[in-house]
Amino acid sequence: MTTIERIKRLARMRGWSLQLVAQKAGIGINNIYTWNKKTPSTKSLDKVAKVLGVPIDYLLGNTDKLNYPNDNKDKSKVNEAVDLPILGSIACGKPIFAEQNVTGYFPTLKNDLPSGDNFWLKCDGDSMDPTIKNGAYVLIHYQPEVENGDIAAVLLNDDEDATLKRISTQKDQTVLIPDNKQYPPIILNKDNPGKIIGKAIRMQSEL
């Protein structure tokens, strides 16, 4: 991988855009784009490396080890990347992580993940705009219950389709509330069942 490709990969792991990396490093985004054609200065590369928490040697391709120190006392702990599945339409009657449901994989930092099963969903539509943009990837922690106000992934239509909505539980029904006020809420009850499959904990999208 080139330096730019490594920076983009690390940014995706953290749910950041390349623009955000540049902003955090105090470097113009156009400056980073020029690194496709010329070697970056050590000073600029050091700023990006510190923002991403990796040694410069990783960005230059001299090592594949990702060292993410948790504090100034311990420099040895390594935060490995794991490939989490990206789920598309959920195949009816199949387990959620069945091969038929997986459309790809997303590298994600292992130490940043809650324990248990995690996966990514790609947002299709603007019902959660402006919180979640169309096309954004949302990291979901697999859990059957969430608190009111949380954004959750919910299975609808006989467990075939997944949707992202804000949750409000009211007595014997659950209301799925879109952040985009142009869309009506969805009522889940015994006549219109649905199932929460996880809580949204992070989003990644390109500017």
Of the CA atoms within 13 Å of residue 78, those in its CB half-sphere come to 7
DSSP-assigned letters across all residues of 5-74: HHHHHHHHHTT--HHHHHHHHT--HHHHHGGGTSPPPHHHHHHHHHHHT--HHHHHTS----B--SSSS-
Identify whether 37 is a catalytic site residue.
Answer: no
Catalytic residue among 76, 115, 122, 165: 165
Residue 73 neighbours by CB under 8 Å, 6+ apart: none
Identify whether 127 is a catalytic site residue.
Answer: yes
Contact 139, 86 (CB under 8 A): no
Catalytic residue among 8, 47, 127, 199: 127
Q: Rounded to whole angstroms, how far apart are CA atoms 68 and 74? A: 9
Residue 124 neighbours by CB under 8 Å, 6+ apart: 134, 135
Please list the active-site residues. 127, 165
